[in-house]
Amino acid sequence: MAGMSFTLDVLRKRHQFRAREYWSRRRLDDYQRDSLENLRKHTYDSSPFYHQFHKGLYDAALEKLPVLTKSMMMDHFDEVVTDREIRFQEIRAYMEDQQRPERFLGRYVINATSGSSGRLGVSIFSDNEWAALMASAFARTPLNLSFTRRIKTAQIASTTTFHMSTQGGSTFRNLFMPILMLPASEPLASMVEKLNKWKPDTLVLYASIGRILADEQLGGHLKIAPRTVMSGSEVLTEETRRRMMQAWGDRIYDNYAATEGVAAIECERHRGMHVMEDLAIVENVDASNRPVPAGVYGDKLLVTVLFKYTQPLIRYEIEDSVRFADEPCPCGRPFKLIGSIQGRVQEILSFSSTPGGSVNVHPLVFHNIMDTLPVSGWQVVQEVDCLRILLAGISGVIDDRQLERLVQQALASQGAVVPHVEVQRVPAIPQTIAGKTPLVKSNLPNKAVERFRH
């Protein structure tokens, strides 16, 4: 995928990204303003959808513009994109073609995911846009790019062809970066054997996999000494971080990334994740799209990706509940910090409340209980008739009935009508098609979920 011209472009952009880390906040704000102006001009000239969607608002402030949802973007895909040769049906045919070329139309990288909504979402990147995304990874994360030393990486995530982790891993490999790519669904014994043989310098994985492998390391089965461990795609709880640090030391970096092109990463101070604000403007808002202050959890993010001209995303809704830190990082970088992530809106469970109506219960309510258990994995699953607590990899004594009572008490303290709670011991926590194991999920019918969210 990565020819010499692409590699040189990544190296040039990496240098630019690193220089921006020394900008003042004022210079960053000016850069965002100018980049947004250029993005909107190009978009209004080239995207029929936005030309109509923002009609009468071409000169309005960003916060006055309407919100773009995933459903809207996919429903109007052909009109959103700015290259009139791009057609969604042709992308689908390309994805299904076993003999497809490396690039769609010879010049585009395709990422696709169904996410937690279950609906296919497609992100398309030009060569230049993909180079920017790869360069930002090498500039801002602990990933190293060297032409003189083999810095080996192991990535344990989804290996689905069009998943972002697969596409990124393939690009890294072609940028002369040795990489072992394992699916998160790989049997544990096989995963441990391959990692012991590979001896990675850098380990990139889901938080749930990190917790399991940390236990394997502490148990003496896994014998690796990565200099850097990057966790992403799932909430990294304090207990999981503690176990990973016990296994590999103070070298754990939490990472936030969305397929659409927004990313954040911890620096060496570990005070939160720096949002790459030269790539995207990120608004933290409540359910009514009103901004929330630093130190307060929002209901979702509205993201404006500044470098994507092919598929413009202006105030694009991402249903993640995050809290921005109310103090800057002492490292001096100008970027905002994500202090913590509660998870996706889909991980916030709704219960009938004792006064009537409904009450929202955030995942942290469950984390406070479950992270104290001697297990390698857990999951809370809301069913129509009960709340199931799945436990895997139990290494100590657990009183199932006491655990059920603790969960019921926690729900009662939130004002919820307490459901039947049932603990189930399982060989492994079920994974999604991408290999993730969400800590909290709802199996309620969609209509019930939608009533809660609105």
> 435 pLDDT band (50/70/90 cuts)?
low
Rounded distance between C-alpha atoms, residue 177 and residue 210, angstroms: 22
Residue 393 has pLDDT above 90, yes or no: no
For 182-228, write each residue's pLDDT tens digit.
Answer: 987 788 899 999 999 999 999 999 888 898 899 999 999 999 999 99
- What is the CATH classification number for the domain harbouring 412? 3.30.300
The domain boundary residue, chosen from 254, 276, 298: 276
* Max mean pLDDT range (117-121, 189-193, 268-272, 312-316): 312-316
The answer to the question of residue 283 being in a domain is no
Q: Which domain holds residue 352?
A: 348-453
Q: What 3-state class would DSSP assign to 272?
A: coil
The answer to the question of residue 244 being in a domain is yes
With a CB cutoff of 8 Å and minimum separation 6, the contacts of 245 are 252
Record the pTM: 0.79
Asked if 237 and 357 sit in the same domain, the reply is: no
Rounded distance between C-alpha atoms, residue 247 and residue 321, angstroms: 29
The answer to the question of residue 129 being in a domain is yes
Rounded distance between C-alpha atoms, residue 329 and residue 21, angstroms: 12
> 446 pLDDT band (50/70/90 cuts)?
low
The answer to the question of residue 352 being in a domain is yes
Asked if 412 and 272 sit in the same domain, the reply is: no
- Which pLDDT value is given to residue 145? 62
How large a percentage of the chain has pLDDT more than 70? 91
- Secondary element (H or E) of residue 163: none
- Which pLDDT value is given to residue 449? 40
Residue with tokens 């004002």: 415
Residue 169 has pLDDT above 90, yes or no: no
Asked if 354 and 209 sit in the same domain, the reply is: no
Asked if 141 and 13 sit in the same domain, the reply is: yes
Q: What 3-state class would DSSP assign to 206?
A: strand
For 63-78, write each residue's pLDDT tens digit.
Answer: 999 999 999 999 999 9
Asked if 258 and 353 sit in the same domain, the reply is: no
- Secondary element (H or E) of residue 255: strand 252-257
- Count structural domains, the chain: 2
* Mean pLDDT, residues 27-44: 98
Asked if 205 and 353 sit in the same domain, the reply is: no
The answer to the question of residue 431 being in a domain is yes
- What is the CATH classification number for the domain harbouring 197? 3.40.50.12780
Asked if 99 and 222 sit in the same domain, the reply is: yes
The domain boundary residue, chosen from 253, 276, 299: 276
Asked if 65 and 148 sit in the same domain, the reply is: yes
CA distances from 43 to 58, 80, 129, 279 (A): 10, 9, 15, 16
The answer to the question of residue 442 being in a domain is yes
Residue of higher predicted confidence among 117 and 58: 58
Rounded distance between C-alpha atoms, residue 454 and residue 452, angstroms: 6
Transcribe 361-427 into DSSP letters: E-HHHHHHHHTTSS-SEEEEEE-SS-EEEEEES--S---HHHHHHHHHHHHHHTTBPP--EEEEE-S
Asked if 115 and 246 sit in the same domain, the reply is: yes
The domain boundary residue, chosen from 276, 302, 327: 276
The answer to the question of residue 45 being in a domain is yes
- Give the alpha-carbon dihedral of 324, 329, 333, 334, to 10 degrees: 40
Asked if 175 and 34 sit in the same domain, the reply is: yes
Asked if 125 and 256 sit in the same domain, the reply is: yes
Rounded distance between C-alpha atoms, residue 183 and residue 190, angstroms: 11
Cα torsion 433, 435, 437, 438: sign: negative
The answer to the question of residue 324 being in a domain is no
Asked if 247 and 382 sit in the same domain, the reply is: no
